[in-house]
Homo-oligomer: A and B are copies of this chain.
Amino acid sequence: MNEPTTVRITHPLPTLAEPVFTLSEIGGLRAAGVAAGIKASGRPDVAVLVAGAPIACAGVFTQNLFPAAPVQVSRQHLASNGGLVRALVVNSGNANACTGDLGLADAREMCDRVARAVGCRPDEVLVCSTGVIGHAMPMDHVRAGIDAALAALGSDRDAGRRFLRGIMTTDAFPKEAGAEGPGVRVAGVCKGAGMIHPNMATMLAFVATDAVATPDELRAAMPRIAAQSFNAVHVDTHPSTNDTFLLFATGTSGTPLAAAEEHVTRVAHRLAWLIARDGEGATKVTTLRVRGARSAESARDVADTIAASALVRTALFGNDPNWGRFVSQVGNAKSVRSVAGLRCVLQGVTVFADGAPTPFDRAALSAAMRAEDVALDVFLAEGDGEATLMTSDLGYRYVEVNAEYTT
């Protein structure tokens, strides 16, 4: 019962137009990724990033009340090291979540092991994990993997690519982005945020720039950058126990962060777009822009309410210009007081205004929705609050992937 039969999926991979650097090509960084046997598949599962000297770092972590052990340890380390770090160690295949005190000890041991090899304090090392939850870490594999990765560090493009392979779980494609401005480089990688077999996965994102920043400057920039990227992605209404976004500034370029921030934001936005694009079974990324709300918070509430609707997301999957679903979700947003003056514009075509649907060519608009980027603009008349959100559509493959029995 409930067995899926054949379901045909259209899932073209996005092409990256922009210049791409990998993390290892940012001055001052070396990277590696190895296969340590944590994943049954034999794919790479341990990755390390090492700086030649302490570098500024800022982080954003999951708000889930069940933060995984590595999230707890990395938070503690960022609090005690003053935002200066030497290394990052990541494993995939096991999330080290819901693992109690043993999990905390394991996460700390991972940092200790890297710190001894690099020659720094343990709290100068951050740790991230992603994979199955509720299982003890296979520490023999993890230890051997850390040692092998530390022995394989490199600063060429391939080293960064191996790091990226080491953090992936169920990603349908590797996610990387790079940008450069006058005298500054930015590179980033991420994985996620599909939450699948057997429990739930995670969004991990690491962005590095060679700009100069103090930890305070980086911390101050972080909310602005996250708001336009990883905090503006709504793949599911289900944040994970392990979600982590780390930003590093090595300083080797001599360019101040102020000049680099727009490029950092561009890279982070592209990575977030790639995460939405790789939502399980997703065929497109819909950028939801809400304007005219009572406040920025209300605008975000409207965007979240629209994006949380499985009805909206299936309409996007079906290329269905189903204005009733969008409009009625605005009416369901808790922070909205009045829908007078509401206007909805889908792919540039007004579908609803002044309390009533507007005439439009459904077939043409449906065809226009068969794009990798779909824009849904919602205009309220309550104020000047704005918010932007990227979301995935919901199709057959989402069900197929997520209904699978865990054993």
Q: Which A residues are within 8 Å of any B CB, using their own CB?
A: 1-8, 10, 63-66, 97-100, 133-134, 195, 198-200, 236-241, 283, 305, 308-312, 314-315, 317-325, 327-332, 336, 338-339, 352, 355-357, 362-363, 366, 370, 394-396, 398-400, 402-407
Best-buried of A305, A329, A357, A402 by chain B (most CB within 10 Å): A402
Q: Apart from A198-B324, A199-B325, what are 20 other A-B pairs with CB-CB below 8 Å?
A: A2-B317, A6-B6, A64-B328, A64-B331, A66-B327, A66-B339, A98-B357, A100-B356, A134-B356, A134-B357, A199-B322, A200-B311, A237-B332, A238-B310, A238-B332, A239-B332, A317-B403, A320-B404, A395-B403, A396-B396
- The interface centre, meaning the residue of A63, A327, A398 with most chain B CB atoms within 10 A of its CB, is A327
Known: A2-B10, A66-B331, A355-B98. A325 touches B200 (CB 8 A): yes
Nearest first, the 4 closest Cβ-Cβ pairs linking A and B are: A318-B403, A199-B324, A314-B402, A65-B331
| B236 touching A309, Cβ below 8 Å | yes
B199, A2: Cβ atoms under 8 Å?
A: no
The count of identical subunits is 2
A349 to chain B minimum Cβ distance, whole angstroms, is: 14
Which residue of chain B has its CB nearest to the CB of A199? B324
Q: How far is the CB of A201 from chain B (nearest CB, A)?
A: 10
Identify which of B200, B329, B366, B402 contacts A328 (C-beta below 8 A): B200
Q: Quick check: A2 and B319 within 8 Å, CB to CB?
A: yes
Name the B residues within 8 Å of A2 (CB-CB). Answer: 10, 283, 317-319, 395
On whether A308 and B308 interact (CB within 8 A), knowing A2-B10, A241-B331, the answer reads yes
Give the residue name and chain of the B residue nearest to A305 (CB).
B237
Complex formed: what's the CA distance from A66 to B8 in Å?
A: 37
A90, chain B: closest CB distance, angstroms: 20
- Out of B200, B317, B399, name the residue touching A394 (CB < 8 Å): B399
Q: A332-B238, A399-B314 are in contact. Are A406 and B5 (CB under 8 A)?
A: no
Q: Is the pair B405, A318 in contact by a Cβ cutoff of 8 Å? A: yes
Name the B residues within 8 Å of A3 (CB-CB): 8
**Inter-subunit contact B66/A318 (CB<8 Å):** no
Q: Which of B200, B338, B394 contacts A65 (CB 8 A)?
A: B338
Contact B329 A238 (CB under 8 A): yes
Which of B63, B283, B352, B407 touches A1 (beta carbons < 8 Å)? B283
Q: What's the nearest-Cβ distance from chain B to residue A174, in Å?
A: 24
Query: Cα distance A18–B265 when bound, in Å?
Result: 61
Chain B neighbourhood of A407, CB < 8 A: 362-363, 366
A399 touches B402 (CB 8 A): no
What chain B residues lie within 8 Å of A4 (beta carbons)? Answer: 7-8, 396
CA distance A5 to B332 in the complex (A): 33
Among B5, B97, B336, the residue within 8 A (CB) of A6 is B5
